[in-house]
Amino acid sequence: MNKRSVKDLDVEGKRVLVRVDFNVPLDESGKITDDTRIKAAIPTINYLIERGAKVILVSHLGRPKGKVVEKLRLNPVAQRLSELLNRKVIKTDDCIGEEPEKAVSRMKNRNVLLLENVRFHPGETKNDPEFAKALAKLADLYVNDAFGAAHRAHASTVGVAEILPSAAGFLLEKEITTMGKVIQNPEKPFTVVLGGAKVKDKIGVIENLLEKADNLLIGGGMAFTFLKALGYEVGKSLLEEDKIDMARGFLEKGKKLNTNIVLPRDVVVADRISADAEHKTVDVSQIPNALMGVDIGEKTVEEFVKYINQSKTVLWNGPMGVFEIQAFANGTKQVAEAIARSNATTIIGGGDSAAAVEKLGIADQMTHVSTGGGASLMFLEGKELPAIKALDDKE
C-alpha cells in the first residue's frame, strides 16, 4: 500500500481526527447487538493514546438523512467504547460548531472524544467543502480507519483528507493489504465462493476475478439466473430476466479461461420464505413451478466443500440461501464451516458473509473478515475507493 500509515505520523500532543465506522446494529431499546466494528477500531485508537495524541473520533450511524434523529445518537457507542478502552470517552451532542470546539480545546493528551453522528448534517453526504472545513478545524491530523465507509465520497471520508495531513489507520491498512494481495496475487488453487440474491450486485466481482480464479462456486438467489441460462426451469425462484444473457456470457468465458464455474446440483425449495414453510430438496432439473429455491442442497454442499478443501486461497462473498431463517441456513453454515476448517488463506468479503461467520462463532478461524459491505464489493471489483484515494501517499 503506497498510502501513509498512522505509524508515519508524529502524533504526540496533536489533535487527531479519526474517521471510524461505528455504524453498529441497535435493537429497539437502543442497545448495541454487535460491537464488532467498535472492536475493530481499538488498535488504532490505543496506538494514538499510547503516543500522547488527543483522539477525536467521528462516525456515522444509520441513515438520518441530514437531520437529527434521537435514536441514532452515538451515546450507546460512547458507553461501549469507554468499556472497551477502560477509560472515559467524552461525547459531544454535535460534530461541528461551538460545543465540539470547546470540548476539543479542553482536551489533554491521551483523552478520547467522540463527536455526534456526522450524518445529522446534510453537508456530510454531499461532501460539502464548508462542512469539511468545520470538521477539519477541530484537528491537526486526519486518520481514516473506516473501511466500511471508504466507498463513499463524503466530507468525513474525502473532504477532510484533502485539507489535513492524512494517513490510514491499522484496520484500513489491513483491509487493503490483505484483500489486495488476494486480488492481485492469490496463491493457487484460488476458489471464489459467491452468493447473495442478485447477479447484478456481483457483476463487477465476477468480471474482475473470473480470470484469476481457478474455481467459481455460485450459490444463493443469483444461482437461478445462471441455471436459467443453461435452460433449467427455476419455478418461482429469484430470477433476473435481464441478466440471463450476461450469465450465459460468464459461463462461456469461464470455459475459455479454464475456470470451473460450479452451479448448484440440488436445491432446497419452499412455497414461501417463512420459518414455518414446508420445504424439500430437489435436483435442479426438478424444481416445481409453484415453488422457489431457498438454499443449496446437500449434494451441492459436498461439491462446494470438495473445491474448498483443494484450495490454497478462498474468497467468500454472499450467503448460499435465505440464511436468516434457520431451515434455509444449512448451505451457508456448511460452506462457512468448511472455509473455517480449511488450511487455505481465507477471506470473508464483508456484508452478510461476515454476519454469518460472526453469528456462527467462527470469525476468528478466518484469515481475514472484512468490515465493509459495499466497500468490500467495490474493492473486489478492482475499483479505487474514493476515501483511500484521498489519503496522502507515502513520501
- Whichever domain contains 238, its CATH number is 3.40.50.1260
Is 386 a domain residue?
A: no
HSE-CB at 394 with a 13 A cutoff on CA atoms is 9
Domain-ending residue, one of 145, 171, 197: 171
Q: 157 and 213 share a domain?
A: no
**Mean pLDDT for each 10-residue chunk of the chain (395 residues)?**
93 98 93 92 98 98 96 97 98 98 98 98 98 98 97 97 98 92 92 93 93 96 97 96 97 96 98 94 97 97 98 96 94 96 92 87 93 88 94 93
Quick one: 84 and 107 in the same domain? yes
pLDDT tens track for 86-121: 999 999 999 999 999 999 999 999 999 999 999 999
Give CA–CA dist 249/207, Å, rounded: 11
Domain boundary among 171, 188, 217: 171
Residues whose CB falls within 8 Å of the CB of residue 394, separated by 6 or more in sequence, listed in order: 2, 3, 4, 5, 8
Which residues are identified as catalytic?
A: 37, 198, 351, 374
Residue 330 shares a structural domain with residue 202 = yes
Express each pLDDT in 122-160 by its tens digit.
999 999 999 999 999 999 999 999 999 999 999 999 999
Final residue belonging to a domain, choices 171, 203, 221: 171
Spatial CB neighbours of 9, under 8 Å, sequence gap ≥ 6: 16, 141, 143, 165, 167
pLDDT in the model for residue 372: 85
Q: Are residues 247 and 363 in the same domain?
A: yes
Tell me, what's the pLDDT at 11? 98
Set of cell numbers at residue 193:
465462493
Which pLDDT value is given to residue 1? 66
Q: How far apart are CA 5 and CA 14, in angstroms?
A: 16
Contact of 189 with 164, CB cutoff 8 Å: no
Helical spans, DSSP H, in the chain: 36-50, 75-85, 98-105, 122-125, 129-136, 170-184, 203-209, 223-229, 244-257, 298-309, 330-341, 351-359, 374-380, 386-389
The total of other beta-carbon atoms located within 10 Å of residue 285's CB is 11
Residue 285 makes CB contacts below 8 A (sequence gap 6+) with: 232
Task: Give yes or no: residues 184 and 88 share one domain.
Answer: no
Same domain, residue pair 83 and 191: no
Residue 188 and residue 85 share a domain: no
Q: Can you give the residue range of the structural domain that contains 121?
A: 6-171
